[in-house]
């Protein structure tokens, strides 16, 4: 593995900790991570890690992305250590093998505080919650032993009023979380799918029972845990596969202790669909989607209707937010 290190991060303690774990790897100093990450490299390349700083870690989400009022993406890493064949990141970035860690945490925290201050000044009478989604560009828990993201940011978010963060994950790397007090402002959202989906489409990710075990451990430790059934996929014999899957999950997890449940399908903009199609031209799932009039590719109507009916059977309707359509 090649490690690229931005010169301004040379004395960063977390950067130094990461480098100490890979003493045999070549380290090359660079001025800007974009000189590496934005290169259009064709063919198979060596796995690469880039340690850098980010100037604009906070971006506005699309409308109706998540919870009430306003939501933001928190970009502290780019690319994922997992290889989910359907993942939109394959279309978002030019190189799947380049992992970027942004470690200028003090700057990122200031950007969060500035964002909160700006939003509250614009909405003087606003008493709702601002949300930050931290895992839309990577899986933060999967690399947490290197980045120390949870130890740095969970205590930070817990100092803020009416501000919450979500860490969405497929990882079972919860050791750092269990060393912290259960957070009042940060929620851990686990993505679950049947074993058939994990083995074929979610490569390198933990098995279903491992994820369920991590969920139960965090619930027992007092953490706010969410469950994300996504993306629901039209795989072979999907009706029976997902029915057995839900029957298993509701037996092993006490949903009365789960803060919320969300179901979502495979969804791409036309531009993202064309990008991922170029990178995964043999992915069968892509050819089962419909081109809808709203500009998105998604599962067929009958497939979405089946999933609605199935989850209404097994998960209390008032507890389950659904986003298979608009």
The token pair at 178 is 């269990």
**Beta strands at 98-102 and 163-169: parallel, antiparallel or unpaired:** unpaired
Query: How far, in Å, are 66, 70, 266 from residue 63 at the CA level?
Result: 8, 8, 18
For residues 65 and 115, the answer to whether their CB atoms sit within 8 Å is no
For residues 174 and 182, the answer to whether their CB atoms sit within 8 Å is no
Residues 169-195 have pLDDT tens digits of 999 999 999 999 999 999 999 999 999
C-alpha triplet 206, 54, 273: angle, nearest 5° = 55
C-alpha triplet 46, 49, 50: angle, nearest 5° = 130
For residues 192 and 229, the answer to whether their CB atoms sit within 8 Å is yes
Kindly list the domain boundaries of the chain, sorted by start residue.
2-323
pLDDT score at 152 = 97
Stretch 119-147: mean pLDDT, rounded? Answer: 86
Residues 236-270 have pLDDT tens digits of 999 999 999 999 999 999 999 999 898 888 989 89
Query: How far, in Å, are 46, 59, 68, 130, 156 from residue 123 at the CA level?
Result: 48, 18, 14, 12, 23
Residues 91-101 have pLDDT tens digits of 778 777 889 99
Query: How far is the C-alpha of 55 from the C-alpha of 46, rounded, in Å?
Result: 27
The listed CATH number (3.40.50.1110, 3.80.30.30, 3.40.50.2300, 2.30.250.10) that belongs to domain 2-323: 3.80.30.30
Stretch 34-57: mean pLDDT, rounded? Answer: 82
Of 109, 153, 162, nearest in space to 131 by CA: 162
| Residue 276 in this model has a pLDDT that exceeds 70 | yes
**Residue 54: partners with Cβ closer than 8 Å, 6 or more residues away:** 75, 76, 102, 104, 107, 108
280 phi and psi, to 5 degrees?
-130, 65
Count of residues making up the chain: 326
When mean pLDDT is compared across 56-65, 98-107, 141-150, 258-267, the lowest value belongs to 56-65
* pLDDT confidence bin for 214, thresholds 50/70/90: very high
How many secondary structure helices (H) and strands (E) does the chain include? 12, 18
């Amino acid at each position: 593995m090649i490690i690229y290190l931005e010169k301004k991060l040379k004395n960063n303690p977390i950067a130094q900790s990461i480098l100490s774990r890979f003493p045999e790897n070549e380290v090359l100093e660079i001025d800007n991570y974009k000189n590496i990450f934005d290169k259009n490299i064709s063919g198979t390349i060596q796995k690469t890690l880039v340690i850098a700083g980010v100037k604009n870690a906070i971006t506005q989400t699309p409308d109706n992305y998540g919870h009430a009022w306003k939501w933001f993406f928190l970009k502290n890493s780019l690319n994922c250590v997992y290889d989910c064949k359907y993942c939109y990141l394959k279309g978002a970035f030019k190189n799947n093998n380049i992992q970027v860690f942004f470690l200028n945490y003090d700057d990122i925290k200031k950007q969060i505080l500035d964002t909160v201050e700006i939003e509250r000044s614009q909405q003087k009478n606003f008493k709702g919650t601002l949300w930050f989604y931290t895992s839309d560009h990577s899986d933060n828990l999967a690399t947490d032993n290197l980045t120390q993201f949870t130890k740095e940011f969970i205590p930070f978010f817990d100092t803020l009023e009416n501000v919450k963060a979500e860490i969405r994950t497929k990882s079972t790397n919860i050791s750092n979380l269990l060393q912290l007090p259960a957070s009042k402002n940060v929620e851990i959202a686990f993505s679950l799918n049947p074993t058939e989906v994990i083995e074929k489409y979610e490569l390198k990710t933990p098995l279903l029972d491992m994820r369920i075990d991590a969920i139960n451990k965090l619930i027992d430790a007092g953490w706010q845990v969410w469950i994300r059934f996504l993306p629901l996929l039209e795989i072979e014999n999907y009706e029976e596969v997902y029915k057995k899957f839900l029957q298993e999950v509701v037996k092993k997890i006490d949903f009365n202790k789960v803060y919320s449940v969300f179901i979502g399908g495979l969804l791409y903009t036309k531009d993202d669909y064309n990008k991922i199609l170029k990178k995964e031209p043999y992915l069968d799932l892509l050819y089962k989607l419909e081109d809808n009039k709203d500009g998105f590719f998604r599962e067929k109507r009958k497939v979405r209707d089946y999933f609605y009916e199935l989850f209404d059977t097994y998960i209390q309707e008032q507890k389950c937010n659904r986003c298979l359509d608009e």
